[in-house]
Structure 1
Amino acid sequence: MRMPHDLKSYVQKHPDNQMAWYLLGKDYERSGQTAKANYCFERSGGVYEAFEHSKAPAQVWIEYQHKLMQLEQQRKKQQFKRRSAAIMLWLLLLGIVPSAMAPDAMNIDVVTEPADESSPEQGLESIDYTDEQGAAHESEAVEAGPEPPVFTGIPLINDEITDEAAGRMMNQLRHTDATIITLGLEQENEFLLWGTSPAKPLMYQFRSNGEGEVTSQSLLPEWCKCTPDDLKGLSASAIEWGQKEEQAIALRSAITAYKQLNGVYPERIEQLMKPFPNNHIGGVNSPMRELYPEMLGYIQSLAGDYRDSESDPTIGERSSEDGPLLPSFEDTYGGEPYMKEALSIIVNKETHRLTLLSGSIVLRNYEVGLGGNKTPEGDFVISDKVVNPNGRSDGEFGTRGMQLSDTDYAIHGTNDPGSIGLDESLGCIRMHQEDVEELFALVPPGTQVTIKDSANTPTQIIAPEQAGDRFQPELVPGQTNPDKIYHWLN
């Protein structure tokens, strides 16, 4: 559901949208226009009861109906006066009435026709309400405050926020003092799609005063009461947020896999950067090095193991009420990474897609080449991870290879990119070079890989369209296997 600043026009077009009526009612309530607010609450049906835990005030609704009747009577009186004035003017022109009775002397106000009451919200627009001091109120735009932006993702269906997602966000914020910028993530079935660019679409700003009042403002350019520079600054911050999330999930996956394999945590990032076969992370950059101690302490705190860590031991003792769980994630709603589960892979043979997931979030969805019935189905893990598995960068397996559970099958590059999307391999999973190099940098050994004949995973390709938007940390050296030339079933 879109929630434009002008909700009045929205409910005219979507009179059955109960969430929109509820939000419009809250706008009127904040501006002191009680009757209008309660009319909207009546139209919102069960949404009002769900949020307010009470029924909409029916008495005010009756009063409002009475007000509409008064409006109709007033409209008829105005029509009568206008017709009378026309008759008087016609008689004056005929010389039947004296000039003292001309329309100017009668102080007749010529008014436009009231809005058609067949549209209830147009009827609302025709009524002026004031508070006890006689001051009129208008619904004001929510302006961004001086505090740094705090981001989170929100599901979209056909580029629009759903009623459920908007209601859930507002309900979460009711008793917190927070301002949140929501970034749109398209929803397909049970999955949220990370998108093809680090620049997630800015959707809405939600602001809560901690006392149950939540306001919203659209950040869509056509609706936002903000300057292009404001949106440009928010977009730049959102890109940095998305890049940090990708760095964090790569670290989280590598730390988790290392612990599962070795039984202990890697206290330093260098322990993940060993030569093959102990290359637990494919690439590292400076932001990842800086983020590592916090991510390590965070993962240990979730497992109750933080007291054995050299990282900040207080992380596991904090709660979101004390401020951000991780200082580096003070720009994320909840103070912790948005992606919370280690990466896993699903290969859909029917659609020729390799889906990289963190829980229900689809980080990437690559097109791949397969071998039809020759490609095995089942559950595997990435075992060997090697650079140049053929011993050279232009071999049939390309520049990267990830073997599946010590079998003769692997996820690898190819020197035949035209085979991507087809069933031409002997069972392996072929990828474009830029795709396999990015996947290699993101996933550690031990990553779960499930191959299915068909799956409910997305079909659209989800990978950065620009080379500069790829996840491209500096390649960790020593990731070739000098003792072996691989002969997978390509």
Structure 2
Amino acid sequence: MEPIRHAEHLKQYVKKHPDNQMAWYLLGKQYEDQGKAAKANYCFMQAGHVYEAFEQRLNPVDEAQAQIQAQAAHAIAWLRKARIRRLWYRTATVAALLLFLVVAWPIGKFSDEDSQEPHARPMDAAAVGVVFVQSKEAGELGEAMHQLSVGERRAALGITARLQPLDGWRNWNGNTALLFAVQRLPAGGVVKMSWYESRLCDCEPADATSAYAAYAEWSQEQEQRWTLGSGIRHYFARSGRWPSSLDDLTKPYPNNMISGDTPLMKAMFNQVLEDAKDEQKQSGSDGKQGAGGGTGASQGQGNGSKNGQGTSSGDQSKLSLSNEPLRIIVDKSVHRLAVVSGDVLVRSYKIGLGGGRTPEGEFNISEKVENPNGRSDGPFGSRGMTLSNTRYAIHGTDEPQSLGGDESLGCIRMSREDVEELYDLVPLGTRVTIQKGGLPDDVSVPDSRFRLDPKQDETNPRGVYAWLD
């Protein structure tokens, strides 16, 4: 019989001869040479004793099972010593999750490379994947483990996190709890589980210092992705075409869709652009409706739900962050301005308003300008954002003591640090909802503020602004 040398021939051969363990072993070695660990592990599992004979070790599944069995034996011994009935449920939950990981991680569906998702997160050695849960129930934790192990968020380090709830929102800058991590080890098919809450594993929790550092870096990346994705979608809504490069978004005033960029935004531009195109195709719309909010003021509460969160264009997974463009909610009752995406409270600032002189309704940011008074310390501060081509604006102030009160003539006043961060965070076209109610009283900002590297002149030398201050 002619030797079978190539992966394609081997694939066809094992489909016709699925009981040939040697063929499975050879195909697995082909995938291993190509760096495709998941497919290699599947083949080695099918190879059974042939793999063990040639490699002189257990196959990846048996190795993982041996690890889990050792952990389970330890848990059972501990349980017997404790003799507390309520701990049976906890141990069973942990065992179920660990068993789920053993079964789901190496097996997966054996398929050709063409069947993989075109925009799946790459298997990069430095990649971090994060899954968010809203509860600590076994089912939700099990699904999170699946996503980090074989799902679209698989990465070298996968983290399961829970954002702090805050009056119906998930607080991006609150006390985020990391529950557990799944780390891939160099040996193919081997993962390390680290639990960070003793109540979940009835164990001594692992040191989460490095996981929190990785999460902090990832969250800064996510903020840049929010801003870039929002800018791309608003550019399409405004021009009817997709940006060809990041330069299309960072033009001088008045076409300064976003106020600058970062090296990471340059690196992620193509991926975020493709994601936006895919969403537009799936929605079946032209992308122009709803991306930028209304074109003028409208009375009442707009489309927001009771807490101002609104509705998304499709059900969002509990384990995901929203892909909705960033939008702004102004709550006149507590003098707060928040930047949100879905049900995530990205920022919440203290502001000054004008009481009844500040209108309620739907607007959008129709203009962004630096130093609207020609200097950074004028009545309108260092940044200004016009609302729907009206005389109302979000801007800085030279009267910081007025924040938290109703002393303006209708505009929205912010401190310098806050308005400069907001200016960088949200693009032209951002939807602004002014209403009473919907936001918590808490201010929510990070220790390290969001900043972009400016690329163009964003001043308006010919502009004389007559905002209502």
TM-score computed with the length of structure 1 as normaliser:
0.58
Paired residues of 2:329 and 2:435 also in contact (CA < 8 A): yes
Are the structure 2 counterparts of residues 202 and 149 from structure 1 closer, same or farther at C-alpha, using a change threshold of 3 Å? farther
Q: Which residue of 2 aligns with 1:437?
A: 420
Q: How does 1:106-185 map to 2 (within 5 A)?
A: 120-121=85-86, 150-155=128-133, 162-164=135-137, 167-174=139-146, 177=150, 180-185=158-163
Q: How does 1:50-89 map to 2 (within 5 A)?
A: none
CA distance in 2, matches of 1:348, 1:185: 22
Q: Give, as a single letter, the amino acid of the residue that structure 2 aligns with 1:476.
A: K
CA distance in 1, matches of 2:441, 2:327: 17
Paired residues of 1:411 and 1:429 also in contact (CA < 8 A): yes
Q: Which residue of 1 aligns with 2:242?
A: 265
Paired residues of 1:155 and 1:192 also in contact (CA < 8 A): no
SS at match of 2:347: strand
CA shift at 1:149, angstroms? 6.5
Are the structure 2 counterparts of residues 394 and 207 from structure 1 closer, same or farther at C-alpha, using a change threshold of 3 Å? closer
Are the structure 2 counterparts of residues 409 and 121 from structure 1 closer, same or farther at C-alpha, using a change threshold of 3 Å? closer
Deviations 1:86-142 (A, max 9, x none): xxxxxxxxxxxxxxxxxxxxxxxxxxxx98x7x535899xxxxxxxxxxxxxx99x9
Q: Which residue of 2 aligns with 1:477?
A: 456
Deviations 1:122-168 (A, max 9, x none): 899xxxxxxxxxxxxxx99x9xxx97564325356xxxxx344x532
Are the structure 2 counterparts of residues 233 and 360 from structure 1 closer, same or farther at C-alpha, using a change threshold of 3 Å? same
Q: Which residue of 2 aligns with 1:235?
A: 212
Q: Which residue of 1 aligns with 2:263?
A: 286
Are the structure 2 counterparts of residues 172 and 436 from structure 1 closer, same or farther at C-alpha, using a change threshold of 3 Å? same
CA distance in 2, matches of 1:373, 1:29: 67
Equivalent residue for 1:364, pick from 347, 359, 381: 347
Mapped pair 1:462 → 2:434: no
CA distance in 2, matches of 1:355, 1:147: 36
SS at match of 1:31: helix
SS at match of 1:450: strand
Q: Which residue of 1 aligns with 2:196?
A: 219
Mapped pair 1:487 → 2:456: no
CA distance in 2, matches of 1:250, 1:434: 18
Q: Which residue of 2 aligns with 1:348?
A: 331
Are the structure 2 counterparts of residues 302 and 480 from structure 1 closer, same or farther at C-alpha, using a change threshold of 3 Å? same
Are the structure 2 counterparts of residues 429 and 261 from structure 1 closer, same or farther at C-alpha, using a change threshold of 3 Å? same
CA shift at 1:416, angstroms? 0.9
Q: How does 1:302-451 map to 2 (within 5 A)?
A: 302-304=279-281, 338-451=321-434
CA distance in 2, matches of 1:342, 1:273: 18
CA distance in 1, matches of 2:210, 2:419: 33
Q: Give, as a single letter, the amino acid of the residue that structure 1 aligns with 2:271.
A: E
Structure 2, unmatched stretches of 5+, are 1-67, 90-97, 102-123, 185-190, 283-316
SS at match of 1:249: helix
CA shift at 1:224, angstroms? 7.6
Are the structure 2 counterparts of residues 394 and 172 from structure 1 closer, same or farther at C-alpha, using a change threshold of 3 Å? closer
Deviations 1:27-63 (A, max 9, x none): 99972599999xx9xxxxxxxxxxxxxxxxxxxxxxx
CA distance in 2, matches of 1:241, 1:474: 19
Paired residues of 1:280 and 1:445 also in contact (CA < 8 A): yes
CA distance in 2, matches of 1:276, 1:221: 54
Q: How does 1:182-201 map to 2 (within 5 A)?
A: 182-195=160-173, 200-201=176-177
Are the structure 2 counterparts of residues 285 and 421 from structure 1 closer, same or farther at C-alpha, using a change threshold of 3 Å? same
CA shift at 1:298, angstroms? 2.0
CA shift at 1:380, angstroms? 0.4
Q: Which residue of 2 aligns with 1:44?
A: none
Paired residues of 1:248 and 1:337 also in contact (CA < 8 A): no
Are the structure 2 counterparts of residues 303 and 30 from structure 1 closer, same or farther at C-alpha, using a change threshold of 3 Å? same
CA distance in 1, matches of 2:406, 2:227: 30
CA distance in 2, matches of 1:207, 1:236: 15
SS at match of 1:288: helix
TM-score computed with the length of structure 2 as normaliser:
0.60
CA shift at 1:421, angstroms? 0.9
Are the structure 2 counterparts of residues 480 and 184 from structure 1 closer, same or farther at C-alpha, using a change threshold of 3 Å? same
SS at match of 1:299: helix
CA distance in 2, matches of 1:225, 1:238: 21
Paired residues of 2:380 and 2:395 also in contact (CA < 8 A): yes
CA distance in 2, matches of 1:286, 1:204: 30
SS at match of 1:284: coil
Larger radius of gyration: 1
Are the structure 2 counterparts of residues 123 and 287 from structure 1 closer, same or farther at C-alpha, using a change threshold of 3 Å? closer
CA shift at 1:186, angstroms? 0.6
Are the structure 2 counterparts of residues 224 and 383 from structure 1 closer, same or farther at C-alpha, using a change threshold of 3 Å? farther
Mapped pair 1:31 → 2:72: yes
Are the structure 2 counterparts of residues 221 and 121 from structure 1 closer, same or farther at C-alpha, using a change threshold of 3 Å? closer
Structure 1, unmatched stretches of 5+, are 1-26, 41-67, 69-113, 125-138, 157-161, 209-213, 306-333
Paired residues of 1:381 and 1:447 also in contact (CA < 8 A): yes
Are the structure 2 counterparts of residues 122 and 348 from structure 1 closer, same or farther at C-alpha, using a change threshold of 3 Å? closer
Q: Give, as a single letter, the amino acid of the residue that structure 2 aligns with 1:120.
A: R
Q: Give, as a single letter, the amino acid of the residue that structure 2 aligns with 1:273.
A: T
SS at match of 1:304: helix
CA distance in 1, matches of 2:250, 2:320: 23
CA distance in 2, matches of 1:34, 1:375: 61
CA shift at 1:173, angstroms? 3.8
CA shift at 1:296, angstroms? 1.2
Q: Which residue of 2 aligns with 1:203?
A: 179
Mean alpha-carbon deviation: is it higher for 172-181 or for 475-484?
A: 172-181
Q: Give, as a single letter, the amino acid of the residue that structure 1 aligns with 2:425.
A: L
List structure 1 segments (4+ residues) > 6 angstroms apart after TM superposition. 27-30, 33-37, 221-224
